[in-house]
Copies of this chain bind each other. A is one copy, B any other.
C-alpha cells in the first residue's frame, strides 16, 4: 500500500467539518496539507492535476476560496505577488527568505500580545492580522 493519506481522511478532517467536500475540494485540501510550502493557486493547480487531470484552474480558485471562507486555510499575500495558501491555522506570520526563496511560518510567541508591540486604537476590534517579513537567513560560517 502507498504511504498516502486517503481522500476519506482528508474529507473528514475536523477543520473542514460543515463544508461540502467534493472530490475537487478534497484534492485541493490534500495538496495543501501535503507540502506546507505556501503554494500559489497555479502551483496548487499543477499538483492537483497529478491526481485529478480533469480539474480546472477556475475550480482550484473556487475551492481555495471556499476553504478560506470556511476558515480551513489561510490566504497569504506578499506585496503584489500571487496569493499563497497555508493550512497552518495557528496564529503565525510569514518570513520570505530571499536567499532560499522559501516562505516559512513564524509562530507568535506564547503569551505575547499584539498590544505589546503596537499602539492599537481605543476600542479597535481586530478581525484579521497579517505579519509578513522579508529578508535573509545568514549562512553560518562553519562548513
Binding site for B on A (CB under 8 A): 75, 77, 79-80, 83, 93, 95, 97-98, 104, 106-109, 112, 114, 116-140
Contacts and interface: CB of A to CB of B under 8 A. Distances in A.
How many identical chains are in the complex? 2
Contacts of A98: 127
B123 A128 contact: no
Most B C-beta atoms less than 10 A away, residue of A95, A97, A118, A132 = A118
A30 to B, nearest CB: 25
Name the prevailing secondary structure of the A interface residues.
Answer: strand
B127 A116 contact: no
A95 B135 CA distance: 23
Contacts of A127: 98, 134-136
Contact of A137 (B93, B124, B137): B124
B132 A130 contact: yes
21 contacts: A75-B79, A95-B121, A95-B124, A97-B124, A98-B127, A106-B118, A106-B121, A107-B118, A108-B117, A108-B118, A118-B131, A120-B133, A121-B137, A122-B137, A124-B136, A126-B135, A127-B135, A128-B135, A129-B131, A129-B132, A129-B133
A64 to B, nearest CB: 13
B138 A125 contact: yes
